[in-house]
Amino acid sequence: MIRRFISWLFTVPSEEANIGSIIRWWEIRRIPYNIVIGGIGIVSLMLFFFFIDRSHVLKPGEDAEEPLALIAAPFIINLCYTLGWMVECGLRVTRLKKTRKIGLLLFKSGWGFSIVVALFPSVYWGIYYLTHVAFAAH
């Protein structure tokens, strides 16, 4: 079942693309994208707080993150997602059939970039914490 879902998620549409079908292809995949990236983001945020707390780098009363960034992140992520289908539509209109697989390339690149961005704070502070623990042990 998971294989079929992943296959569907990352499959180039078989029909001739027009603006409407391009937008539909992207928009039907927005919900799974938001669920996966949101889940990764939540886990990453919890790990970020864990590692930054254990690192003891914050002064009393200092915030670990900008609260507005947490509110803005889902909107910015979805704006970038929308730019994916906008770029594909623009390329399809100007270059026609030569760009049949460009949507899938944009889609996969967007997923990869989103995962890296979501994981970056927790990975950075995890490495920071673990290196300080390792060097403190010596």
User: If you write DSSP's letter for every residue of 3-38 in order, what string do you get?
Assistant: HHHHHHHT---SSPP-HHHHHHHHHHTHHHHHHHHH
- For residue 46, is it within any domain? yes
Q: Is residue 88 part of a domain?
A: yes
Q: What is the mean pLDDT of residues 77-102?
A: 83
**Sequence-distant (≥ 6) Cβ neighbours of residue 76 within 8 angstroms:** none
Q: For residue 45, give its domain range.
A: 18-136
Within-domain flag for 10: no
Residue 23 pLDDT > 90: yes
pTM, 2 dp: 0.83
Domain count, the chain: 1
Residue 9 lies in a domain: no
Whether residue 58 lies inside any domain: the answer is: yes
Instruction: Kindly report the average pLDDT of the chain as a whole number.
Output: 87
Per-residue pLDDT band for 97 (boundaries 50, 70, 90) equals: low
Question: Under 8 Å CB-to-CB from 106, ≥6 apart: which residues?
Answer: 84, 87, 88
**Average pLDDT of the segment spanning 19-41:** 94
For 49, residues 6+ apart whose C-beta sits below 8 A from its C-beta are 64
DSSP 73-89: HHHHHHHHHHHHHHHHH
Residue 60 lies in a domain: yes
For residue 119, tell me if it sits in a domain: yes
